[in-house]
A and B are shown apart, each in its own frame.
Chain A
Amino acid sequence: MFGWTGNILRVDLTQKTFRKETFSEEFAHKWVGGRGFALKTLWDELEPGIDPLGPKNKFIVALGPIAGIPAPNTGKTVVAAKSPLTGGYGDGNLGTRVTEQLRKAGYDMLIVEGAASEPTLLYIEDDKVKFLPAAEVWGKGTYATNDWIYERYGRKAGVLNIGQGGENLNLYATVRSLEGRSGGRPGMGAVMGSKKLKAIVVKGSKPIPQADPDKMKKLGAADLRTVHEMDKKSGWSIQATTGILAWCNEVAALPVRNMRKTRHSDAWKIDGERLDDARIATYGCPTCTMHCGIAIRDHEGRESELDYENIGMLGSNLEVFELDQVGSLNYLCDDYGLDTISAGGVLGFYADAIDRGHVAGDFRFGDGERAKELLRLAALREGDVGNMLADGSMRMARKIGRGSEAYAMHVKGLEVSAYNCKLCPGMALSFGTSPIGAHHKEAWVITFELNQTVRDSYGRDKAEKVIELQRIRGGLFEYIIACRFPWVEVGWELEHYPIYFNTITGLHWTLDDFWKVGDRIYALMKFFWLREMPDWSRKMDYPPMAWFDSANADTDGPIAGKVLDLEKYDGLLDHYYDLRGWDKRGIPTRRTATALGLDDEARQAEAFGRLED
């Protein structure tokens, strides 16, 4: 087998044991890697209903066949587990040297089981595995932890670590790597923390098995150069992802004031132009030639690396329009190891609930200083407020009650990313049907919707486009594992990816083969939900109710007086389910399962809920 190392490293933190296992060619071809490997493993190995923060959950680091091999932008790793935030399957990807190092150490997947009794650093070097004490950095932020690791193991080591957020089981704690990389929004950092796993350090020295390494080397190097030139020509990385803020503000899709508003006259103060002007450094992932991380000096003089989601959720959504203060909030999230999107959603919800008199508190929109303190409380789970904020907006709303559920901006428990869909039915569908909760990475349909369709329409074309994008973004890029930005931002065609895959594996796949893998993964994620939540209903695929509330409509601007229509959204959801071959609840039918090679999984799922023919 070429392309895959064929090996899994299974580590038990309770027993401090490890073993090398192999996987079959059939498994590799059916699930490819990354999200596919992680999902299938968690499906097969997790007991239904387990506590995601208990020792029975498993933390997975999964790679794909092109991961780590120099080519456009293959430096990403998937981290996955049962999510403590949503209760379903959870994952995320991040740029890290772990990608290359773990593959060179000879593994395509790391499965971490059990829980250590003391803070632990898991050290992997080829066939060696060590369980090392990490008490010295337990309680420290991710920057200090990273430095501590670099001092001991060198800067080339692959590192994943957590901050105080993960240690204290903040439910939206992420996994961190390098200077500013972060991934695993649905609480993957908390899962590491629950296992007292402070960090994973990986070094590898073996070649990655490839069918035609010489051809791949030339191809990868040439294509990295071409992508670099395409980026320079388009000028994308000048503002990188942050350019979108000004556009969202113009078209009334910016998150402002817990998404109550869609535009703000001060938005320009934190937009891509201001960010580029304030730039002091640029950061990126390994094997990338279009670095997108723009670092600025924050209010306290520290370096803070920002992207659009950060300025949208910690800036406009909180009505904090001082760029250096947004930088500070972002720095703190990164250092504590908190997801910036959820942190912005949670603080926005808290300010909104206080505003409405639904909960007592002293936080107001625009108060950047208080927001910093609240992030600290949330990361450390300090006091009642810290504990409440650390649980995410879904649980906060349940606790606060008084109708606050309607404006808790989450789907399935995961806070909505920085696109305000008050009048974007297609993008709302994308958030609604994202199987891990409201994440933009699955299907970013908003520019298609606003430019090529009637914005206020709910036609089948929108459902088709969401599925097309989910196959590419939530599918291909998450299991072959590469960053989607060369394709989405500078026009690097998708056709290159089967070429890389085939050169590395010696197979002859077309894009159609990949789409089927993506559909299989999406179907199994739904079975995962059914298994965890036998009373699953289509309402789990609804976006937040605030977007349907006419009292929430903009009073001026391009979408004045308009909001989403629930009945029509239901119609759009029907189109989506129909196109996917899922029933009216949004669960794959038996026939669909069979077509996707999921007969066994369908039989197992039926123990938890009926499947339609």
Chain B
Amino acid sequence: MKVTVKMIGAFVHAAGFSERTFDLALGTTTDELLEIVKIEKSRPMIVARNGQAVTPGEKLEDGDRVVVAPTFSGG
């Protein structure tokens, strides 16, 4: 399945890309995706799938858009 990952803020530098589409095995979870894109899970971050916050272990689906952003607390 194809999943697009969008990095925001400092994660662009951490992951080495801004936006990229990945070919993933069916059933891949958001946690597994973070390992694939080499983002340490201990880093404070907010992850959204199709514009909605993800729940732990959430399974991805074909065509999903996942956004990884720092835990902004605001301007």
Quick check: B51 and A250 within 8 Å, CB to CB? yes
Quick check: B9 and A557 within 8 Å, CB to CB? no
- Interface check A251, CB cutoff 8 A: yes
- Interface check B13, CB cutoff 8 A: yes
Question: Considering the chains assembled together, what is the distance between the CA atoms of A246 and B6 in angstroms?
Answer: 9
Chain A residues near B52: list those with CB within 8 A: 251, 455, 558
Quick check: B9 and A272 within 8 Å, CB to CB? yes
Taking CB atoms and an 8 Å cut-off, the chain A residues in 181-237 that contact chain B are 234-236
Question: Considering the chains assembled together, what is the distance between the CA atoms of A251 and B49 in angstroms?
Answer: 9
Quick check: B73 and A444 within 8 Å, CB to CB? yes
Taking CB atoms and an 8 Å cut-off, the chain A residues in 47-74 that contact chain B are none
Quick check: B51 and A251 within 8 Å, CB to CB? yes
- Interface check A451, CB cutoff 8 A: yes
Chain A residues near B46: list those with CB within 8 A: 247, 447, 450-451
- Interface check B8, CB cutoff 8 A: yes
Question: Considering the chains assembled together, what is the distance between the CA atoms of A446 and B69 in angstroms?
Answer: 14
Residue of A nearest to B69 (CB): A247
Quick check: A557 and B51 within 8 Å, CB to CB? yes
- Interface check B10, CB cutoff 8 A: yes
Chain A residues near B69: list those with CB within 8 A: 243, 246-247, 250
Question: Considering the chains assembled together, what is the distance between the CA atoms of A450 and B54 in angstroms?
Answer: 10
Question: Considering the chains assembled together, what is the distance between the CA atoms of A90 and B10 in angstroms?
Answer: 35
Quick check: B9 and A558 within 8 Å, CB to CB? no
- Interface check B44, CB cutoff 8 A: yes
- Interface check A308, CB cutoff 8 A: yes
Partner of A440, one of B9, B10, B74: B74
Quick check: A447 and B73 within 8 Å, CB to CB? yes
- Interface check A241, CB cutoff 8 A: yes
Instruction: Report if A558-B75 is in contact (Cβ < 8 Å); known contacts: A238-B9, A247-B8, A247-B69.
Output: no
- Interface check A309, CB cutoff 8 A: yes
Interface string of B40-75 (1 = CB under 8 A from A): 000010101011110000000000010101111111
Chain B residues near A251: list those with CB within 8 A: 48, 51-52, 67
Quick check: B75 and A444 within 8 Å, CB to CB? yes
Quick check: B10 and A250 within 8 Å, CB to CB? no
- Interface check A324, CB cutoff 8 A: no
What's the least CB distance linking A245 to chain B, in Å? 9
What's the least CB distance linking A190 to chain B, in Å? 24
- Interface check B21, CB cutoff 8 A: no
Residue of B nearest to A488 (CB): B73
Question: Considering the chains assembled together, what is the distance between the CA atoms of A450 and B53 in angstroms?
Answer: 6
Quick check: A446 and B13 within 8 Å, CB to CB? no
- Interface check B1, CB cutoff 8 A: no
Residue of A nearest to B75 (CB): A241
Quick check: B71 and A235 within 8 Å, CB to CB? no
Partner of A235, one of B10, B73, B75: B10
Chain A residues near B75: list those with CB within 8 A: 241, 244, 307-309, 417-418, 440, 444
Chain B residues near A236: list those with CB within 8 A: 9-10, 70
Instruction: Report if A238-B73 is in contact (Cβ < 8 Å); known contacts: A451-B53, A455-B52, A558-B51.
Output: no
Interface string of A511-546 (1 = CB under 8 A from B): 000000000000000000000000000000000000
**A239, A246, A418 interface centre (most CB from chain B within 10 Å):** A246
Instruction: Report if A250-B67 is in contact (Cβ < 8 Å); known contacts: A241-B75, A307-B75.
Output: yes
Question: Considering the chains assembled together, what is the distance between the CA atoms of A488 and B67 in angstroms?
Answer: 20
Question: Considering the chains assembled together, what is the distance between the CA atoms of A447 and B73 in angstroms?
Answer: 7
Residue of A nearest to B44 (CB): A491
What's the least CB distance linking B48 to chain A, in Å? 6
Instruction: Report if A238-B13 is in contact (Cβ < 8 Å); known contacts: A244-B75, A252-B51.
Output: yes
Q: Which residues of B contact A (CB under 8 A)?
A: 6, 8-10, 12-14, 18, 44, 46, 48, 50-53, 65, 67, 69-75
Q: Which residues of A contact B (CB under 8 A)?
A: 234-236, 238-239, 241, 243-244, 246-247, 250-252, 272-273, 307-309, 417-418, 440, 444, 446-447, 450-452, 455, 487-489, 491, 557-559
A-B residue pairs, 7 tightest by C-beta: A558-B51, A235-B10, A444-B74, A243-B9, A488-B73, A241-B75, A250-B67
